[in-house]
Structure 1
Amino acid sequence: MRHTLSETWSGLRRNASMTLAVVVTMWVSLTLFGAGLLVAQQVERLKDDWYDKVEISVFLCVADSRGGNCVPGEPATDAQRTTIEETLRSNPEVAEVFYETREQAYQQFREYYANNDPILKSTTVDMMQDSFRVKLKNPQEYQGVISAVSGLPGVQQVQDLRKFLDPMFAWLNLARWATVGLSGLLLLAAALQIGNTIRLAAYSRRREIGIMRLVGASNWYIMLPFLLESLIAAVGGALLACATLAAVEQFVIVGRAAVEIPTVRWVDWGNVGWVMASLAVVAVALSIIPTLIATRRFLRV
């Protein structure tokens, strides 16, 4: 064991600059990879929270409605309103149906724009619309409900909040995959750099390796110093990456984002711990696999 540790230290000292380059490359690539995993978990949390609040709004015709299934100058009748409500309640995808009168809509409007006098003065209760607010059992299944009521008489418009959320999540997913893709390229670069570093170290000790093979030393005994060299470099990069992600969680998410936007369920330390464990596994794999490949040709007598 003393010989193995001595050879490992000797290899690290001789290739100090390349080892440092490997550590920095692993640090950057693993940090980006971990950030991509955290972004992915944050997107899933936002989807779970926001899609659960998604509701469909069915706006009924008023006297001055234009378009939809409205007759100009005629609001939705009681019979039409009853038909719309029965259609919604009988749909198996609907969890709850709330009827909101124009007076209730106007009251909510006044509360929302309480500090905007020009808008309040220019808006009256007659400008509001009756509507049905529909909660879905599965927010992903909404097309059937929309198609069931969008063609009914008395319906001016069916509004689904998903059309506002889906583009946002599309951009978030794009950012996630861009981060993971870039980190993947950097991880590949780190693996190649580790392989080249170990290959050069093995080449400089090729005579010593040949003598050890001739006297019967096992492959693992010969490879162990090289494995430890690459493992130390990878673990160093992984520790720096974990420290960076911990700093982001503490100072950016917990210290700023969670305070300024408390309504959002941000990724927590449990998520960060899972990402750190993933980074450790990736770092070990990136240190072992290139080393085994790089030293294989030098183990032949």
Structure 2
Amino acid sequence: MIRIPGLKPPPSKNMAKRRVENVVVNNTQGTVPEMAHPRLPGGFNLPPFGVHQVLAVVIVCIALWAVGVIWLGMQAASQWVGSWQQDIHIHVYLDVKKDQADSGKRADKLQQALQSIPQIAAVRRIPPAEAAVWMQTWLHDAALNAQDLTNRLPLTFEISLTDAQSRFLFDDIRDAAGRFGGRVNEDEVNLARAHYWLSQASWLAGFASLVLALAMALIISNTLRMTLLARADEIHLMRLLGAKEWFVRMPFILEGMVLGAAAGIAAWLLLWPIVWGSSAWLLTMQVDLNLWVLLPALLFGGGVVGTLGAVIATARVVSAETGV
């Protein structure tokens, strides 16, 4: 290397590093440099939140509100289906008053035809007198004569199913009933099918909730990432001073958790107008929605999503030589 008299050579990397360390040591004993901000590198800007944090809370709140609406609908559908979710029965009616001589044979043949269907577990014959007693108990306010009901009610077959999701089960039941002049309670068939579609919809609701959770985590991650970039000098300085990775990351993780939990509470509050507005309609369907069940789920779910987003955003805070 050719040296020019009077010109100092540029400082090497080791010399520059020693100068930075000397400045840091000197400033720990005296004043703080003008460009350094003496505060922890957390993302909080209280009061109030920064614009980016407020926007993140609003967007995550809308997503959590959509998740809450989905599961409110699932709760209403489950209550509407009622006990059919656990024990599904189909009733077949046979009018035995048209032909008294042949009614007994037709009833026996119909019962045998129903029992021959593989998806049917059992067939119980309910005589009109028993059905009349049940109807009087159900309609306790109506003045009904037991003998008149017995004469008017048909013979009923109560069918217990082993597999209500079989593709051609209800068609087989209709065919067996039609051959002997019976008819199937179609309302019960619709409820049984609603039970099947409800079980399928629960999987779709879970998948939609998972997709929205990932999207919310990315939104919070991007918000905290911008805060990290704005405070890269502070983080680098703290790492040079010997701060551990968890010490630098923890304020951001706590902020993500708070942002997600705040969005969850806001989404839960926004669900109340839906319940109040549809209360009269839900009452006619005998559905009573319980919003308090969703509060822990939205609060905890929002906190988990926010924490996940913060962990993703701070994943690169790994060494003292690299900032963010």
Q: Is structure 2 residue 90 aligned with structure 1 residue 55?
A: yes
Q: Which residue of 2 aligns with 1:267?
A: 289
- Residues 12/233 of structure 1: CA separation in 2 closer, same or farther (3 Å cut): farther
- Residues 163/207 of structure 1: CA separation in 2 closer, same or farther (3 Å cut): same
1:98 to 105, 123, 126: 126
Q: Partners in 1 of 2:47 and 2:317 — Cα distance?
A: 19
Q: Which residue of 1 aligns with 2:45?
A: 10
Q: Partners in 2 of 1:53 and 1:209 — Cα distance?
A: 62
- Residues 60/195 of structure 1: CA separation in 2 closer, same or farther (3 Å cut): same
Q: Is structure 2 residue 220 aligned with structure 1 residue 198?
A: no
Superposed CA offset, 1:264-293 (max 9, x none): 24333xxx3332212122211111112112
Instruction: Give the superposition deviation at 1:222.
Output: 0.8
Q: Partners in 1 of 2:114 and 2:200 — Cα distance?
A: 37
Specify the code of the residue in structure 1 equivalent to 2:265.
L
Q: Which residue of 1 aligns with 2:160?
A: 136
1:26 to 60, 67, 72: 60
- Residues 53/16 of structure 1: CA separation in 2 closer, same or farther (3 Å cut): same
1:284 to 285, 298, 303: 303
- Residues 82/192 of structure 1: CA separation in 2 closer, same or farther (3 Å cut): closer
* 1:226-237 map, 5 Å: 226-237=252-263
| DSSP 3-state at the match of 1:22 | helix
Greater relative CO, 1 or 2 (CA 8 Å, sep 6+): 1
| DSSP 3-state at the match of 1:9 | coil
- Residues 25/242 of structure 1: CA separation in 2 closer, same or farther (3 Å cut): same
CA contact (8 A) 2:114 2:176 kept: no
Q: Partners in 1 of 2:273 and 2:312 — Cα distance?
A: 35
- Residues 76/187 of structure 1: CA separation in 2 closer, same or farther (3 Å cut): farther
Q: Which residue of 2 aligns with 1:297?
A: 316
Instruction: Give the superposition deviation at 1:189.
Output: 2.8
Q: Which residue of 2 aligns with 1:71?
A: none
Q: Partners in 1 of 2:260 and 2:174 — Cα distance?
A: 59
- Residues 197/82 of structure 1: CA separation in 2 closer, same or farther (3 Å cut): closer
| DSSP 3-state at the match of 1:136 | strand
**In proportion to residue count, which structure has more helix?**
1
CA contact (8 A) 2:89 2:161 kept: no
Q: Partners in 2 of 1:10 and 1:233 — Cα distance?
A: 12
Normalising to structure 1: TM-score of the pair? 0.66
- Residues 156/145 of structure 1: CA separation in 2 closer, same or farther (3 Å cut): same
Superposed CA offset, 1:68-122 (max 9, x none): xxxxxx7870441452476499898347422349xx8xxx9xx9xxxxxxxxxxx
Superposed CA offset, 1:229-259 (max 9, x none): 222221221111111234434x145x42354
Q: Which residue of 2 aligns with 1:159?
A: 184
Specify the code of the residue in structure 1 equivalent to 2:72.
L
Instruction: Give the superposition deviation at 1:18.
Output: 1.5
Q: Partners in 2 of 1:89 and 1:46 — Cα distance?
A: 28
Specify the code of the residue in structure 1 equivalent to 2:92.
S
Q: Partners in 2 of 1:49 and 1:140 — Cα distance?
A: 14
Q: Which residue of 2 aligns with 1:44?
A: 78
- Residues 149/199 of structure 1: CA separation in 2 closer, same or farther (3 Å cut): closer
Instruction: Give the superposition deviation at 1:30.
Output: 0.8
CA contact (8 A) 1:80 1:154 kept: no
| DSSP 3-state at the match of 1:10 | coil
| DSSP 3-state at the match of 1:216 | coil
RMSD, matched Cα = 4.4
Instruction: Give the superposition deviation at 1:208.
Output: 1.3
* 1:112-261 map, 5 Å: 130-134=154-158, 136=160, 140=164, 151=176, 155-161=180-186, 162-166=188-192, 168=194, 184-249=210-275, 251-252=276-277, 255-261=279-285
Seq. identity, %: 18
